[in-house]
Amino acid sequence: MRPQRVRNAPLRSQSRKTRINVRRQVVAILVVIGSDRRSLRVLLCGMETPPTRGFDYSLAFHAVFPDLGRRHSVPLVPFLLAGVALVPELNGPDGVHPNAAGALRIADTVWPYLEPLLAATTTRLEVVGVHVAVRT
């Protein structure tokens, strides 16, 4: 049992570092945007991770985006790839990145969260998580 712990220790350590880095990067974006909250609306789009790094990692990663949404008072799309992830006909040849049909499904997922922000926004809108910034 002990050798297995030693072998898995670096993986757990790396997984924790990855999770911390994701959190730090999203926090950095939210802090910068937060300084201009009077004219910006933020929509945080959550992601999930496959269980390839273990259940504990997946569970902890699952909590990152909801936690940040609550802490920074921003609305959250729980999982950007809902209905797309692991559906072969909605992904490209790599099986990971959405194709055109997958992009339409993502738009359907995001729209109920985005529409109220657009209706209330007269200046700028930043969408975090899909690497898109729309400025009007």
Average pLDDT (22-33) is: 82
Reported as a pLDDT band with limits 50, 70 and 90, residue 15 is low
> Rounded to whole angstroms, what are the CA distances from 91 to 49, 66, 101, 126?
16, 25, 8, 25
Between residues 92 and 49, the one the model is more confident about: 92
When the pLDDT of each residue in the chain is averaged and rounded to a whole number, the result is: 78
**Which of 50, 44, 83 is CA-nearest to residue 67?**
44
Q: List pLDDT tens digits, range 92-117.
A: 999 989 999 999 999 999 999 999 98
pTM: 0.71
pLDDT of residue 16: 64
Pairing mode of beta strands 124-128, 40-45: parallel
Q: Which of 9-23, 32-46, 101-115 has the lowest mean pLDDT?
A: 9-23
The enclosing domain of 91 has a CATH number of 3.40.50.1110
pLDDT of residue 124: 52
Number of domains the chain is built from: 1
Distance CA 55, CA 60 (A): 9
Answer positive or negative: Cα dihedral of 121, 39, 68, 82.
positive
Range of the domain at 29: 2-135
User: 44: alpha, beta or left, given left = phi > 0 and alpha = psi -120 to 50?
Assistant: beta
pLDDT of residue 7: 33
Per the DSSP assignment, residues forming a β-bridge with 135 are 124
Q: Which of 25-34, 109-118, 125-134 has the lowest mean pLDDT?
A: 125-134
Give the percent of the chain with pLDDT over 90.
Answer: 42
